[in-house]
């Protein structure tokens, strides 16, 4: 109906145009055609409207020229394109043959990864015209009463029990009472259904628990995250046999069994297509009788919880050389559950990941014989392992690392804001220096962005989505933002941050950041290969349809489907080119926004970037074909643009979910400005490095006709953000929820909050001492305790004020001070150890 009204309006314009002459009517004609493309009329509707306008244009009576001849020729071409049989024979079939040769090779693991999960908001961003109602209509994530009680009860109590320096320095492990508490209260069973004894929490609750624990201890949060992420519990619930579920899930829920999952190995890493670990189907003895089973040989490393695991989830490549199960010899990647005590398994040794001693280590297996029933899901699921993994990874990767990274970022902001207020240099808080202010603002803005992405995406999972591409975006960008926040927090704290000890609340969080960068797909690989590589095919409205049609063995149906997708794709590309140009020229000011107010501009900007991005993607894929897969830097930049749009959308949705509080708007403004500026810069970098310079020029004209218009957040906005966390504001509390902030000995975050709440009065009293005492010569002491004493004697402070200020100063100095140790207190146990860098005999012979 909308298209009909548009066409009628254009006919009226055409009638008016009959009174116009020369260039004016030509401009009007071109404008009308661009408007039709902007509004994405169908090919038939576009052809009819084009013809009517052309007749009106020609009726002016001007002499026929090359321009009019070209337009009539173009109209004739459009008419022919609407004749489907002719179009398919003359254009679709020949191009389909070329397209099939251009298609990049795709392994079975790549295909299964593409098919995993669902397409959600990421798909809308590929359209160039995202439907905001799909995002804004989604239900805001919310904890149930049971989940909130768990967060406020057992989770809070667990945080109280944790002594992170004792765990990381003295023990190298959690104390037994913490292990017991985790098992007793179901921390390992958040994703397990209640009928098996689990908690069956929502994805959002799961995320909040990890965020809270991460604000206290990376070791504890990692230990809790793994059983609730990709591993035996998740795989059993979705694919296990009833017998496997009934046996293992109650044991996993109670903590009687501790799971780990072994995928990564020293030769292939996590590249499942090159997995060297094998399982050979053969006959063997099992519990006194001969059966058909699997003989496993494997070497795994970096396996979290392996040293203490009682049941091992194992990924291996399964072969049946004697065809005992059927005609297939290479069955494929398979997942099985292997009890720890199974003969042939070597397990128990530990890795030591950057002084953060969560349980992590290698597992090896030599001629480990197990029954076929050990395959997760039973023998029928043999060869389905990679599909199982990537389907579940789309959920787990959205939660574990993003939640832990966000919790660590929240803790860093909570601590650094308070520390920058109470730590003084040159008689003013260090947080008031512009240099510190800008760094603190960046920490705040990035934390808001991380929290928005974490919570909104978790809410989407609870709504039934399994967002595979956003999971890669969150894994990469949240862990990178967490790394930036850790670096910035360390810069502001200076020496306080680098001296480890019971008083240090930053050091271990800083050390653990590279661990998050490397696991579940190293960040370089995730950025350069996965985000755009998977998103371009999975999320694009036409590319996957074209690929499937081109590979369809039913040729007539394949041609029909390819024709539909191809010409839809052409119209889509032309429309996005026009939309990109128009919105760039107008700064998207006339683009519809689903909301009013100042935040509406960011919705408009995202739509503009969506159109520019979609146009750039189509030009790149059409011109480079399968070669784009090898141009990793171009793919990475396009992935960054997609990610920035996604994260900005999450920020806007998060703002809506939290009630559009005006005091939160500076956070939204900083986050969106930062993300849109980065999107612009990545598109600019993409165009600068595009190999076809002619096409790069055309794209630049359509995307940046007025040059680069976006700028990073300015200093005034940064000052607003830093002020929000340099004082005990509601915004600070909302931003940093649910960090562990109880005021008690040993919890620096709670103690920092306590002195922050005292800071206003302390600064007022301190100013009185300086202005009325030190500057007038009535007070001569150099340090604050001496000034307080003299101020009380000369009457500048009352007895109560002096006592209060002394208490404040003691609390501050306890937080500012760092630890020191006697020489014998450092090291593992104070005893001399053999040198560990002396090569073994085997190593010496190897390198001779």
* Distance of alpha carbon 485 from alpha carbon 736, whole angstroms: 14
Q: Vertex 514, ends 511 and 518: CA angle to 5°? A: 150
Running DSSP on this structure, what letter comes out for residue 139?
P
Q: What stretch of H or E contains 261?
A: strand 259-262
- Packed helices 531-538 and 468-493: angle between N→C axes, nearest 10 degrees: 150
* Distance of alpha carbon 544 from alpha carbon 654, whole angstroms: 31
CB 88 within 8 A of CB 80: no
* Distance of alpha carbon 610 from alpha carbon 591, whole angstroms: 12
In the chain, count H helices and then E strands.
Answer: 36, 9
- Measured CA to CA in angstroms, residue 55 lies from 49, 50, 241, 275 at distances of 10, 9, 69, 65
Q: Would you mind telling me the total number of residues written for the chain in this entry?
A: 848
CB burial of 604-643 (b: ≥16 within 10 Å; e: otherwise) equals bbbbbbbbbbbbbbbbbbeebeeebbebbebbbbbbbbbb
CB 409 within 8 A of CB 210: no
Q: Any idea which residue has 């620096």 for tokens?
A: 748
Q: Any idea which residue has 């073994």 for tokens?
A: 840
Whether the CA torsion 674, 675, 678, 680 is positive or negative: it is negative
* Distance of alpha carbon 150 from alpha carbon 2, whole angstroms: 51
Q: Following DSSP, what letter does each residue of 509-523 receive, concatenated?
A: HHHHHHHHHHSSS-H
Give the per-residue SS3 of 315-361.
EEEEECCCCCCCCCCEEEEEEEEEECCCCCEEECCCCCHHHCCCCEE
Instruction: List all residues 6 or more positions away from 171 whose beta carbon is below 8 Å from its beta carbon.
Output: 357
CB 752 within 8 A of CB 760: no
Q: Which of 583, 576, 584 is nearest to 618 (CA)?
A: 576
For 589, counting Cβ atoms within 10 Å of its Cβ (0-12 exposed, 13-18 middle, 19+ buried), the class is exposed
State the catalytic residue, choosing from 124, 200, 234, 520. Answer: 520
Running DSSP on this structure, what letter comes out for residue 664?
G
CA atoms within 13 A on the CB side of 126: 25
CB 182 within 8 A of CB 359: no
Phi, psi values for residue 262, rounded to 5°: -110, 105
Running DSSP on this structure, what letter comes out for residue 375?
B
Q: What is the CA radius of gyration of the chain?
A: 32
* Residue 147, both tokens: 């989940």
Phi/psi class of residue 323: alpha, beta or left (left: φ > 0; alpha: ψ in -120 to 50)? left
* Residue 774, both tokens: 């030190």
Q: Is 684 helix (H, G, I), strand (E, B) or coil?
A: helix
* Distance of alpha carbon 179 from alpha carbon 185, whole angstroms: 10
* Distance of alpha carbon 382 from alpha carbon 335, whole angstroms: 8
Give the per-residue SS3 of 737-804.
CCCCCCCCCCCHHHHHHHHHHHHHHHHHHHHHHHHHHHCCCCCCCCCHHHHHHHHHHCCCCCHHHHHH
Instruction: Answer yes or no: 520 catalytic.
Output: yes
Q: What stretch of H or E contains 282?
A: strand 278-286
Q: Any idea which residue has 């030591």 for tokens?
A: 352
Instruction: List all residues 6 or more positions away from 798 whose beta carbon is below 8 Å from its beta carbon.
Output: 792
Instruction: List all residues 6 or more positions away from 695 whose beta carbon is below 8 Å from its beta carbon.
Output: 619, 623
Which residues are known catalytic residues?
520
């Amino acid at each position: 109906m909308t298209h009909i009204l548009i066409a009628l309006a254009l006919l009226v314009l055409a009638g008016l145009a009959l009174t116009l002459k020369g260039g004016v009517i030509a401009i009007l004609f071109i404008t009308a055609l661009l408007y039709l493309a902007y509004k994405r009329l169908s090919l038939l509707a576009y052809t009819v409207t084009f013809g009517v306008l052309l007749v009106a244009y020609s009726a002016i009576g001007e002499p026929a020229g090359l321009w009019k001849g070209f337009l009539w020729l173009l109209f004739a071409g459009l008419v022919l394109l609407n004749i489907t049989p002719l179009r398919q024979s003359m254009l679709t079939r020949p191009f389909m043959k070329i397209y099939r040769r251009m298609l990049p090779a795709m392994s079975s693991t790549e295909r299964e990864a593409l098919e995993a999960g669902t397409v959600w908001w990421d798909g809308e961003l590929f359209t160039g015209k995202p439907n905001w109602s799909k995002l804004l209509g989604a239900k805001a994530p919310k904890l149930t009463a049971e989940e909130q009680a768990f967060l406020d009860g057992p989770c809070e109590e667990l945080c109280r029990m944790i002594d992170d320096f004792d765990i990381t320095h003295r023990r190298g492990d959690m104390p037994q009472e913490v292990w017991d508490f985790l098992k007793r209260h179901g921390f390992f069973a958040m994703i397990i259904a209640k009928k098996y004894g689990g908690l069956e929490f929502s994805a959002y609750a799961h995320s909040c628990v990890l965020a809270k624990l991460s604000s206290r201890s990376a070791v504890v949060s990692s230990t809790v995250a793994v059983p609730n992420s990709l591993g035996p519990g998740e795989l059993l619930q979705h694919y296990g046999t009833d017998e496997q579920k009934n046996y293992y899930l109650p044991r996993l829920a109670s903590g009687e069994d501790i799971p780990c999952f072994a995928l990564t190995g020293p030769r292939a890493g996590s590249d499942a297509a090159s997995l060297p670990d094998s399982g050979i189907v053969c006959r063997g003895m099992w519990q006194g009788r001969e059966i058909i089973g699997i003989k496993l040989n494997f070497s795994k490393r970096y396996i979290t919880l392996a040293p203490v695991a009682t049941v091992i989830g194992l990924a291996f490549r399964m072969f049946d050389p004697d065809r005992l199960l059927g005609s297939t010899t290479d069955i494929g990647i398979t997942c099985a559950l292997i009890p720890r005590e199974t003969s042939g398994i070597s397990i128990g040794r530990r890795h030591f990941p950057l002084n953060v001693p969560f349980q992590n280590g290698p597992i090896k297996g030599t001629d480990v014989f197990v029954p076929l029933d050990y395959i997760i899901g039973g023998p029928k699921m043999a060869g389905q392992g990679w599909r199982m993994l990537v389907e579940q990874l789309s959920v787990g990767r959205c939660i574990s690392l993003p939640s832990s990274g966000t919790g660590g970022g929240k803790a860093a902001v909570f601590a650094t804001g308070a520390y920058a207020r109470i730590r003084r240099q040159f008689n003013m808080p260090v947080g008031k220096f512009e240099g510190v202010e800008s760094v603190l603002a960046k920490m705040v803005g990035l934390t808001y962005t991380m929290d928005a992405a974490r919570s909104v995406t978790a809410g989407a999972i609870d709504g039934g989505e399994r967002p595979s591409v956003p999971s890669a975006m969150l894994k990469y960008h949240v862990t990178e933002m967490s790394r930036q926040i850790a670096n910035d927090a360390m810069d502001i704290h200076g020496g306080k941050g680098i001296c480890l000890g019971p008083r240090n609340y930053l050091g271990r969080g800083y050390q653990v950041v590279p661990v998050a960068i490397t696991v579940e797909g190293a960040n370089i690989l995730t950025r350069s290969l996965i985000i755009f590589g998977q998103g371009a095919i999975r999320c694009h409205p036409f590319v996957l349809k074209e690929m499937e049609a081109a590979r369809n063995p039913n040729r007539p149906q394949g041609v029909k489907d390819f024709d539909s997708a191809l010409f839809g794709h052409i119209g889509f590309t032309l429309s996005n080119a026009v939309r990109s140009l128009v919105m760039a020229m107008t700064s998207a000011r006339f683009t519809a926004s689903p909301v009013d107010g100042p935040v509406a501009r960011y919705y408009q900007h995202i739509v503009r970037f969506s159109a520019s991005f979609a146009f750039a993607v189509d030009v790149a894929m059409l011109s480079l074909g399968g070669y784009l897969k090898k141009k990793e830097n171009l793919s990475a930049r396009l992935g960054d643009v997609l990610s920035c749009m996604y994260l900005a959308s999450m920020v806007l949705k998060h703002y809506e979910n939290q009630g559009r509080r005006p005091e939160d708007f500076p956070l939204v403004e900083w986050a969106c400005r930062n993300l849109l500026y980065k999107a612009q810069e990545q598109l600019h970098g993409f165009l600068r490095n595009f190999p076809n310079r002619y096409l790069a020029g055309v794209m630049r004209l359509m995307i940046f006709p007025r040059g680069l218009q976006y700028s990073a957040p300015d200093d005034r906005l940064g000052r607003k953000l830093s002020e929000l966390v340099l004082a005990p504001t509601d915004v600070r509390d909302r931003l940093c929820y649910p960090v562990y902030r109880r005021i008690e000995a040993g919890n620096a975050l709670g103690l920092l909050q306590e002195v922050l709440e005292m800071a206003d009065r302390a600064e007022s009293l301190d100013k009185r001492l300086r202005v009325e005492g030190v500057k007038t010569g009535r007070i001569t002491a150099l340090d604050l305790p001496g000034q307080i004493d003299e101020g009380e004697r000369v009457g500048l402070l009352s007895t109560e004020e002096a006592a209060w200020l002394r208490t404040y100063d003691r609390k501050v100095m306890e937080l500012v001070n760092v630890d020191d140790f006697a020489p014998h207190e450092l090291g593992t146990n104070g005893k001399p150890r053999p040198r560990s860098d002396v090569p073994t005999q085997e190593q010496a012979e190897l390198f001779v």
